[in-house]
Amino acid sequence: MSSSLPTPTSQHTQDELKLPTYIYKLIPHTSPPPLPPTPLPTALPISPLDQSSGFIHLSTAPQVLGTLVHFFTSDPRVYVLRIPFARVQTNIKWEDPKGEVCGDRPGEGRFPHLYNGLKLGNDEVDEVVVWEREEEEEEEKNGRKGWEEVVKKAEEDGWLVY
C-alpha cells in the first residue's frame, strides 16, 4: 500500500503530519564511503537491498532510530545522508515496511521510498555525516542503548530534524 503522504500513527504528533524537511539514507560503514571527494558524485553505489527492491529505502527523522536498531545493530558507525525532501518529493512514495525484510515495525508509519531510477548523489543529498556509537562494552557499562545517544545528540544539534 502506498500514498503520497505520511500516515499518522499514535507516535506522531500533529506537527509531524506535515511533510518532512529532510529524509535520510543510512549506509553501513562497510560500504564505499560517500564522503569527499567533494562534491558527491552524481550517483552513489546502490545497496543490494535497494537494487532488489527497485527503489531507495529512506527514513524520516523519527524513523531513523528504528532503522538503526533493525539494520545496523552490529555496525560501530554509519554514514548518514541528509536529503532535502523538496528535492525528491515528486519521486517519493510512502509505503509500509515489508515484514519479511526486517520484521514488524509497529508505530513507525509508512516510510519514504525513492523511485527515481535508483539515483542518489549530489543532486539529491545536501550533507553527509558519519555517526559512531560507543563500543558495546562501553555502552553496557554506561547504561546506553546502542544508537539512542547518537540520535539524541543529532537531534539536539539540529541536524536530525523532521
Q: Over the chain, what HEC string results?
A: CEECCCCCCCCCCHHHHCCCCEEEEEEECCCCCCCCCCCCCCCCCCCHHHHHHCCEECECHHHHHHHHHHHCCCCCEEEEEEEEHHHHHHHEEEECCCHHHHCCCCCCCCEEEECCCCCCCCCCCCEEEEEECCCHHHHHHHCCCCCHHHHHHHHHCCCCCC
Q: Per mean pLDDT, which of 5-14, 108-117, 136-145 is the most reliable? A: 108-117
pLDDT attached to residue 96:
85
Indicate the domain borders of the chain.
2-156
**pTM (whole model) above 0.85:** no
pLDDT attached to residue 4:
52
**Which residue type is seen at 94?**
W
- Of 16-20, 32-36, 104-108, 117-121, give the lowest mean pLDDT range: 104-108
User: Taking residues 18-35, what's their average pLDDT?
Assistant: 87
The pairing of strands 127-132 and 77-84 is antiparallel
What mean pLDDT value characterizes the chain? 82
pLDDT attached to residue 106:
52
Matching CATH number, 2-156, of 3.30.1010.10, 3.90.380.10, 3.20.170.20, 1.20.1440.230: 3.20.170.20
Distances in whole angstroms, Cα of residue 94 to Cα of each of 5, 76, 85: 6, 29, 12
Q: What is the pLDDT of residues 72-128, one digit of tens each?
A: 988 999 999 999 999 999 999 999 876 544 445 555 678 999 999 999 999 999 999
pLDDT over threshold 60, residue 32: yes
Name which of 80, 66, 60 is nearest 20 in CA terms: 60
